[in-house]
């Protein structure tokens, strides 16, 4: 079994209202040293697969078809063994 970790972020230049709201809230809580907050999503996907290359290709398909919007998102995938 393999596990894919998929991190989906907004592309550079895309407005991140969630990040801006978190930054504002942190400042209200007196965390004034916070200069910027960027939001991201993390998916852990467990696959009944032993071939890392096949797993990577399948997860890339998942990102393209469902998990990420190619207009505004970029993503990174890590494949690891599950012990």
CB within 8 A of 16, min separation 6: which ones? 10, 37, 38, 39
Q: What predicted TM-score, i.e. pTM, was given to this entire model?
A: 0.88
What value does the mean pLDDT take over residues 11-25? 97
Enclosing H/E stretch for 58: helix 52-62
User: In CATH, what number is assigned to the domain containing residue 15?
Assistant: 3.30.1280.10
Rounded Cα distance between 64 and 29, Å, is 38
pLDDT at 83: 78
What value does the mean pLDDT take over residues 17-30? 98
- How many structural domains is the chain composed of? 1
CB atoms within 10 A of CB 74: 15
pLDDT at 65: 97
pLDDT at 14: 97
The whole domain housing 56 covers 2-81
Over the chain, what is the mean pLDDT? 97
């Amino acid at each position: 079994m393999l596990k894919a970790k998929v991190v989906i972020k907004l592309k550079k230049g895309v407005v991140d209202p969630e990040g801006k709201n978190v930054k504002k809230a942190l400042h209200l809580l007196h965390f004034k040293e916070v200069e910027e907050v960027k939001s991201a999503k993390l998916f852990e996907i467990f696959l009944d697969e032993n071939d890392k290359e096949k797993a990577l290709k399948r997860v890339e398909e998942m990102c393209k078809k469902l998990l990420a919007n190619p207009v505004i998102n970029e993503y990174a995938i890590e494949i690891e063994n599950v012990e």
